[in-house]
Amino acid sequence: MFLVLGIVMLITLGIFITLYFVAPHSEMMHAFETKKSFVITQIVLLGVATYFFGAHFNGLHEAEWRESWKYPATIGSEPVTYAGSKTNVGIVINERPQTKELYETEILTWALYKELKLEATRKWGGADPLKKVLTERTNEKVPYSYPVTFQFPKEGTWKISIIADGNKLNEIIIRVD
């Protein structure tokens, strides 16, 4: 939406500049009483367009770090809540992880994998990535669960990349308090 608004502002700016050179005595150009008011209007239009483009690209960057959706599931007979994809891979989030405390959870998959590699990175850096390799499953029914333990060194937003057979299955975004 911001991209469209930015383009509209640039088109309006282009129309005014074109009219300034092609038809300086047109009715539209008479709306500006002085050359200074025309220049100020063009600067404001350019500033607003720049703001809209910045808002658009900032939104794209922030969307990459938006917390993952949460879904209900059942492991054995126990109901759990997990974050991630509805039918691909997820991480059990029954409670929010705490900084510098052991967080024991499970990775859920809907396909069987021999080995899962996990890499957790913090938004804006400031902490070394956490890497884990999972090979042990705790159940033999869908969804398959792989136990994992994390200890997040800093609070913030963390992205957990899950890789199997060299392919990235999913990226799960969670908030650590």
- Which domain range does residue 77 map to? 70-176
Structure tokens at 123: 């938004």
Whole-structure pTM value: 0.73
**pLDDT in single tens digits along all 177 residues of the chain:** 899 999 999 999 999 999 999 988 888 888 888 889 999 999 999 999 999 999 999 988 888 888 888 888 887 788 888 898 888 899 998 888 999 899 999 998 888 888 899 999 998 887 788 888 888 888 888 888 899 998 999 999 999 999 998 899 999 999 998
94 and 116 both lie in a single domain? yes
92 and 43 both lie in a single domain? no
38 and 81 both lie in a single domain? no
Number of domains in the chain: 2
152 and 83 both lie in a single domain? yes
> For the stretch 135-155, what's the b/e string if a residue is b when 16 or more beta carbons lie within 10 angstroms of its beta carbon?
eebeeeeebbbbebebebeee
Residue-level length of the chain: 177
Which residues neighbour 48 within 8 Å (Cβ) at sequence distance 6 or greater? 9
For residue 24, how far is the Cα from the chain centroid?
Answer: 47
